[in-house]
Amino acid sequence: MKRKLVVSTRMIGLLGLALLLALLQSASAADEAGTPDTFPTADGVMKVHPINHATLALEWQGKTIDIDPVGGLKAFQGLARPQLILITDIHGDHLNQETLTNLAGPETKLVCPQAVMDQLPASLRPQATVLANGETRELLGIRIEAVAAYNLTSERQKFHAKGRGNGYVLSLGGKRVYLSGDTEGVPEMLALKDIDVAFVCMNLPYTMTVEEAAKAVRSFRPKMVYPYHYRGSDLAKFKELVGSDQGIEVRLRDWYHKP
């Protein structure tokens, strides 16, 4: 009888240890993905996961959407394999072939401009759809609009020529989500209407200043804006310049956090 009690106690101890390890692993994975912001839509909750610099993930209706995935699989721990990947431009902070190859499953769909398609691994090209500036396509029940992303300032045009890169507007359960890509405050951005959530870039010399980004945001007036792709920028200044008089919420998140 005593022997059985000892064995049972040991088993309980081992099970407790196993449970503790599982909880720690789960917490570690959650830390990698971060705690998402959530937004109600007409068709369920949308979750926003800032990952790094120009990279983020959205979750909606059981789908994971990765935008400009770079950083390898480790950056996406805790997130499901994406059903949809959007790529905005050819530079290494937006297009990383190794990360794409490891993330994309056989059913994953990709959307990109032609310049990106030309650089995709051959194995992924059959899964990719090219959208030119101004084109619209519906995939997986998501309306995707390609918005021109380019530099206007003469000394910056060498970084992002007009017609090469895309921003995107996604329609998710009645919410319109704008992802700027690398751009200045171009007319195509300023003409946007009814944007619920915007992700707007800023940093020199590649995109635009904090002042230029704030002016653009005040022009197309999203309900909420996340500054991203902002390395070295003064986010407090951006928030101050956007102001509160137009009802735009500026949501600041750490896109450069290292777990």
Amino acid residing at 185: G
Q: State how beta strands 44-52 and 37-41 pair.
A: antiparallel
Overall size of the chain counted in residues: 259
Sign of CA dihedral 202, 204, 209, 212: negative
- Bond from prior residue into 205 cis (ω within 30 degrees of 0): yes
Looking only at the bridges linking them, the beta strands covering 128-130 and 136-139 are: unpaired
CA distances from residue 227 to 67, 153, 221, 235, 255 in whole angstroms, order as listed: 15, 20, 14, 8, 9
pTM, 2 dp: 0.85
What integer pLDDT is reported at residue 222 of this predicted model? 98
Note the pLDDT of residue 65: 98
- All residue ranges of the chain with pLDDT < 70 are 1-34, 258-259
Instruction: Convert the pLDDT of each residue in 184-231 to its tens digit.
Output: 999 999 999 999 999 999 998 888 999 999 999 999 999 999 999 999
The pLDDT tens digits for 227-237 are: 999 999 999 99
What is the distance between the alpha carbons of residues 102 and 81, in angstroms, rounded to a whole number? Answer: 10
> Residue 111 has which token pair?
């959307």
pLDDT digits (tens, 9 = 90+) for 167-181: 999 999 999 999 999
What pLDDT sits at residue 130? 98
b/e map 127-153, b = 16+ CB within 10 Å: ebebbebeeeeeeeebebbbbbbbbee
Q: What residues form DSSP beta bridges with 149?
A: 165
